[in-house]
Chain A
């Protein structure tokens, strides 16, 4: 493979450098707190927990139609099956039937109307999981079928929406607008660029499927281990389903084998069913979804339909944008309102839209209810504007990078279509220009053109795309967090906070925060499982906010403890309070050691000083007026950019990533190793979404791609050696007062993968000698890429015959050698 002009990709060096900054591991590339347990197989997941005697194994009986009324459900044969202990259906639910997280619409078990294939109808408890699963197949039911809708656009036309449509409209001068005024503005531009796009959904494919273990306690008490990103909501829903007060229910999450948003709301029904059986039988009950059941039952990333019209001036600058985003929400609202909102908030990606009209439609279809997935609608929102950037470039005969740069937020063009000023917007240009230069964009552009001109089958593509992602929950009340910190008398520290660990390294970062505040090495601090009885009323670990919110809450608790200990020490040791510090496990006064941390803690304990503290945090400065579609919904923005090169076989549609140079803004990193891990993992997951991960349903609404045999997430050779080169942007701390001026990193990198898709389109554009931009719906499977290449060839043939009509003497050169401006 040709070596690309690589950035400094030597992670080890970068990491070592930071490691030296803080020898106690408070800020450096500290390894994951469970790394050793992961590699030894001793990290326990819900399905690994030891079961008490008599524990039951559960399986869910699912519908085999996508829409219909459940007229009768005969479970006698299920009950009679060998090993079966208990079978429950909707009528057995003691409390609430609906487990919709925000709006109703998600029956725990269907009692009346079935609204998607694979919906839960009943739950079976048996001596073994196999017996339970086999028994589910013995149910007899009669269902009166109802018409099904699978196409969100059809649903939208019929007005079948899960939530009302929302609009954001604003003129470039900041005045409110409507469709009419924006349409008028559109007509005034020199160029109009319009198009359509469909983007497919995405299965989370967390390696650990949904799981819960319910352990009945005394009276109405119950402890539930749940593989969940949102233990507090699981607690609430279990309590409501069982009809008991919240304080009877404790939910614990030690770790998840991956979440990605898929365990934000989707974990709750599984936990509720386990709790119901445990309550009903008085026995422990475990439900772990087999992969296929998980894929049928749980929601996915929303597929979207995108329609866009852009008004552009001669220089390629966008003056007006009208974007309609139709989200395929599945059968119920779930989180779709906020997800389609977030798509709308990101319809600009990193570009100033000028006069803008953005509409978000929430269509109801008969599939599992689509849900949170890393990016939460943001990635889908960005696709239209990124598609348009290339279309504008081809229409104007410019390089797409030039068009992208021309449209980035900049001085005077720095307010979004929902009226929020983009803080730190100059970072966008910084990121792009650094990659452009260090990645030798123009040199490679020239090389690629030369290569493509001589290579009829194999074509290369190059693209450099930015990302701007808003950080905060758009539901304001969720932007709060709590923590609980205990110091024990041996000096060891236990931290608990409301966030959950799903692999993203949140616990590791929280250990680092506590260690830093208390002046300890990280091995003195331990994080215990997230539990609703330690920190109550928590928000989901989502919206990339885990470290931001819980880090501040943990810091708050530690600061209080520290203040209390130093106050005590000042008095106890008769030292000036201001001279005292805690560093490297010691109490110092103006640099000289007074006593060790352990001694200090002992002394404080003897003097009856409390060694336990809770912390709290609420994000300031955020608001959004939904009526007007304006506000300041995000505390800050995180930025990034990626430069990607691909090679495409235009006859088969096969392609390969040749290289991705990524530069990403995490402010001042809390842990560079973990942040780089999030960027790499997010990028590859995004690449899967846009390339190989294809969900297919048959016309009856049955998901056909219901396992990894047919649903293909990226595998190792999709990320060739040396192809992924990630750098963190240095020297730009967060301008908002976040935890140590770091930035959230969970979601934003996923959207860096748009550069892969853009590079594929670039390679396809070469077939027309960069004259024509071809529509490329996602996922851009080899099939879609090959068919798009055929479209390009057809286009070229037509263009050539038109040219020869125009110019009978045929003066013009063959297209692939036609000179073309390559530099801006």
Chain B
């Protein structure tokens, strides 16, 4: 049985086959048709639901990728639960009023998902405001972009949806009432829904020992965390999972602990820590990494996807591995017999092949604390800015030396090889050639040739749907002048700040993002 609350009513669901999604349960078993399916792959947001897990804030999720078993103990809110549940007349909630007032629905198919994403944004914004945070228009725009980046609308062109969001956040339609539902208040007679019961083979161990024991006993049973990757096997390739081993209830895997490793201080990041949970730490210590994280998937994906899943799926285009490799992170693997700790860059062996033994799990990642001179730049290139997989990702880490130069280069790329990997030739090149001759304005054919040669020595990328080999090689090479200019611009701004009061940089922007940040 799965016990949860649905729009404030207690709900008890006979355990469905492992891998059954929340969307399937909502639409097929519970008759809640308001939540739509547009893709069943996490990319369109039509299936967006709101979830409150004990001890955490209200978040969105893609119902199409969430295993139904993870509903256990959650409060689930669907579009049917937005309007005030206790009034007999279906009074529209603030978010619904805002969408109607701004003509933000045309065909209406994306609308339930958009309404949920906006309702959750409204609630969290309100919470921030009540804690004394204020947001200007531009910051609200960023919040809106992040909240809705995973909700596609084919009809409206988004302008009215953004307007609805702004007016909602400005309080024009009243206060958010989404979190008002409480299972304690509303749980009455549990509803029983009749669907065929089968023995549950969905395991959700609560202790590390139990997890490792199950892993040893059944090494073939897939591990599942957020499911944002694995569940595609169920929805797209129609694979039936006989059993699944869920890591998300094991406390040790969900924690971020300060600690030390290899003589450095840093953090042990549990494998089941979600992107959402990781965000504050990165924001504080590695802001560029936080910016990169905001371009990983969509809000719905970031709410559920985990670090362990991103490493565990061994994808050549995962965004965290190049970042973590450039930051010289370690991965801690564990089985019943013990643990081992590897440099993350040594973990990946070949396409979708890693050092992980069949009875092992990824326990955590060790992320070193930045030294004072630590600098980082992460460049994700993709066809679309929101919710897109990297065509390529280049992460550059370096240390600033006394006179503002760069040293200790660590460069890692995703999308350039069968695994995420270091770019040793490019690192050597940056050690050798002065940055001044690598900027877009100073770069000559010969130096560009040297860069391209180094890139070619590091990587031999493939052509695929996201980009050609030619583009990947060229675009990767072009990140060198970008990073060089960035460092020089920083230097210039730095010395300008020392010499004059005027800190505004008159340097030309080295990238689109730099331009957008300036303007």
Contact flag A718-B384 (CB < 8 Å), given A41-B112, A291-B41, A456-B441: yes
Is B376 positioned at the interface, with any CB of A under 8 Å from its CB? no
A472, chain B: closest CB distance, angstroms: 24
Stretch at the interface among B147-155, B321-329, B337-345: B147-155
- Pick the residue among B38, B79, B478 that contacts A41 (CB under 8 A): B79
A816, chain B: closest CB distance, angstroms: 11
Distance A259 CA – B155 CA, assembled complex (angstroms): 10
Residue of A nearest to B386 (CB): A715
- Check B482 against A208 for contact (C-beta < 8 Å): no
- Check B238 against A255 for contact (C-beta < 8 Å): no
Contact flag A680-B516 (CB < 8 Å), given A39-B92, A717-B386, A721-B162: no
- Check A647 against B515 for contact (C-beta < 8 Å): yes
Residue of B nearest to A38 (CB): B108
Is B40 positioned at the interface, with any CB of A under 8 Å from its CB? yes
Stretch at the interface among A28-36, A363-371, A607-615: A28-36
Chain A residues, CB < 8 A from B92:
36, 39-40
- Check A716 against B162 for contact (C-beta < 8 Å): yes
Residue of A nearest to B103 (CB): A673
B509, chain A: closest CB distance, angstroms: 5
- Check A457 against B482 for contact (C-beta < 8 Å): yes
Is A292 positioned at the interface, with any CB of B under 8 Å from its CB? yes
For window 346-394 of B, CB contacts with A under 8 Å fall at 379, 381-389, 391
Contact flag A680-B471 (CB < 8 Å), given A709-B43, A718-B384: no
- Pick the residue among B40, B96, B158, B464 that contacts A39 (CB under 8 A): B96
Stretch at the interface among A175-183, A378-386, A502-510: A502-510
Chain B residues, CB < 8 A from A208:
36, 38, 107, 109
- Check B103 against A786 for contact (C-beta < 8 Å): no
- Check A710 against B387 for contact (C-beta < 8 Å): no
- Check A291 against B40 for contact (C-beta < 8 Å): yes
Contact flag A652-B238 (CB < 8 Å), given A255-B108, A505-B106, A717-B149: no
Q: Mark A1-42, 1 if CB is under 8 A from B, else 0.
A: 110000000010000000000000000010110111111111
Is B253 positioned at the interface, with any CB of A under 8 Å from its CB? no
- Check B41 against A258 for contact (C-beta < 8 Å): no
Contact flag A654-B381 (CB < 8 Å), given A38-B108, A719-B159: yes
Distance A171 CA – B481 CA, assembled complex (angstroms): 53
A225, chain B: closest CB distance, angstroms: 14
Is B157 positioned at the interface, with any CB of A under 8 Å from its CB? yes
Give the most central of B36, B39, B145: most A CB within 10 Å: B39
Stretch at the interface among A212-220, A432-440, A573-581, A700-708: A700-708
Chain B residues, CB < 8 A from A34:
105, 108
Distance A132 CA – B481 CA, assembled complex (angstroms): 54
Contact flag A1-B516 (CB < 8 Å), given A39-B111, A207-B109: yes
- Check A43 against B108 for contact (C-beta < 8 Å): yes
Residue of B nearest to A680 (CB): B157
Contact flag A677-B156 (CB < 8 Å), given A40-B82, A651-B440: yes
- Check B154 against A260 for contact (C-beta < 8 Å): yes
- Check B103 against A133 for contact (C-beta < 8 Å): no
Chain A residues, CB < 8 A from B110:
207
Contact flag A257-B475 (CB < 8 Å), given A708-B41, A782-B383: no
For window 245-284 of B, CB contacts with A under 8 Å fall at none
B168, chain A: closest CB distance, angstroms: 12
Chain A residues, CB < 8 A from B161:
716
Give the most central of B107, B115, B485: most A CB within 10 Å: B107
- Check A290 against B509 for contact (C-beta < 8 Å): no
Is A48 positioned at the interface, with any CB of B under 8 Å from its CB? yes
Is B33 positioned at the interface, with any CB of A under 8 Å from its CB? yes
- Check A709 against B389 for contact (C-beta < 8 Å): yes
- Check A681 against B156 for contact (C-beta < 8 Å): yes
Residue of A nearest to B145 (CB): A717
- Pick the residue among A680, A781, A790 that contacts B160 (CB under 8 A): A680
Distance A381 CA – B515 CA, assembled complex (angstroms): 35
- Check A718 against B36 for contact (C-beta < 8 Å): no
- Check A503 against B155 for contact (C-beta < 8 Å): yes
Chain B residues, CB < 8 A from A290:
40
- Check B157 against A681 for contact (C-beta < 8 Å): yes
- Check A134 against B149 for contact (C-beta < 8 Å): no
A375, chain B: closest CB distance, angstroms: 15
For window 156-182 of B, CB contacts with A under 8 Å fall at 156-163
Q: Mark A450-490, 1 if CB is under 8 A from B, else 0.
A: 00001111100000000000000000000000000000000
B98, chain A: closest CB distance, angstroms: 9
Q: Mark B219-237, 1 if CB is under 8 A from A, else 0.
A: 0000000000000000010
Distance A635 CA – B100 CA, assembled complex (angstroms): 34
Is B99 positioned at the interface, with any CB of A under 8 Å from its CB? yes
Chain A residues, CB < 8 A from B153:
207
- Pick the residue among A44, A503, A656 that contacts B512 (CB under 8 A): A656
Is A140 positioned at the interface, with any CB of B under 8 Å from its CB? no
Is A648 positioned at the interface, with any CB of B under 8 Å from its CB? yes
Q: Mark B474-485, 1 if CB is under 8 A from A, else 0.
A: 110011011001
Distance A455 CA – B38 CA, assembled complex (angstroms): 42
Q: Mark B76-109, 1 if CB is under 8 A from A, else 0.
A: 0011101100000010100110011101011111
Distance A35 CA – B105 CA, assembled complex (angstroms): 6
Give the most central of A2, A456, A694: most B CB within 10 Å: A456
- Check A207 against B152 for contact (C-beta < 8 Å): yes
- Check A35 against B157 for contact (C-beta < 8 Å): no
- Pick the residue among B100, B105, B385 that contacts A717 (CB under 8 A): B385
Distance A416 CA – B384 CA, assembled complex (angstroms): 38
Chain B residues, CB < 8 A from A617:
none
Chain A residues, CB < 8 A from B474:
786-787, 790
Distance A718 CA – B149 CA, assembled complex (angstroms): 10
Residue of B nearest to A2 (CB): B519
Is B141 positioned at the interface, with any CB of A under 8 Å from its CB? yes
Residue of B nearest to A288 (CB): B37
Chain A residues, CB < 8 A from B148:
716
Contact flag A45-B90 (CB < 8 Å), given A257-B36, A458-B515: no
- Check B467 against A783 for contact (C-beta < 8 Å): yes
- Check A38 against B383 for contact (C-beta < 8 Å): no
Contact flag A130-B41 (CB < 8 Å), given A716-B386, A787-B471: no
Distance A220 CA – B382 CA, assembled complex (angstroms): 53
Chain A residues, CB < 8 A from B407:
none
Residue of A nearest to B140 (CB): A721
Is B438 positioned at the interface, with any CB of A under 8 Å from its CB? no
- Check B383 against A712 for contact (C-beta < 8 Å): yes
Chain A residues, CB < 8 A from B137:
721
Chain A residues, CB < 8 A from B509:
455, 457-458
Distance A368 CA – B137 CA, assembled complex (angstroms): 46
- Check B388 against A712 for contact (C-beta < 8 Å): yes
Is A683 positioned at the interface, with any CB of B under 8 Å from its CB? yes
Chain B residues, CB < 8 A from A39:
79, 82, 92, 95-96, 99-100, 105, 108, 111-112, 115
A245, chain B: closest CB distance, angstroms: 33
Is A685 positioned at the interface, with any CB of B under 8 Å from its CB? yes
Is A111 positioned at the interface, with any CB of B under 8 Å from its CB? no
Is A629 positioned at the interface, with any CB of B under 8 Å from its CB? no
Q: Mark B31-74, 1 if CB is under 8 A from A, else 0.
A: 00111111111111010000000000000000000000000000
Contacts beyond the supplied A207-B153, A704-B465, A718-B386: 8 A-B pairs with Cβ under 8 Å: A258-B107, A457-B510, A652-B512, A655-B512, A681-B154, A681-B155, A684-B157, A721-B144
- Top 4 closest A-B pairs, CB basis? A41-B34, A503-B107, A257-B109, A38-B108
On B, residues with C-beta under 8 Å from A are: 28, 33-44, 46, 78-80, 82-83, 90, 92, 95-96, 99-101, 103, 105-112, 115, 137-138, 141, 144-145, 148-149, 151-163, 236, 238, 240, 379, 381-389, 391, 440-441, 464-468, 470-471, 474-475, 478-479, 481-482, 485, 508-512, 514-516, 519
On A, residues with C-beta under 8 Å from B are: 1-2, 11, 29, 31-32, 34-45, 47-48, 128, 130, 133-134, 137, 204-209, 255-260, 290-292, 454-458, 502-505, 647-649, 651-656, 673-674, 676-677, 680-685, 692, 694, 696, 704-705, 707-710, 712-721, 724, 726, 781-783, 786-787, 790
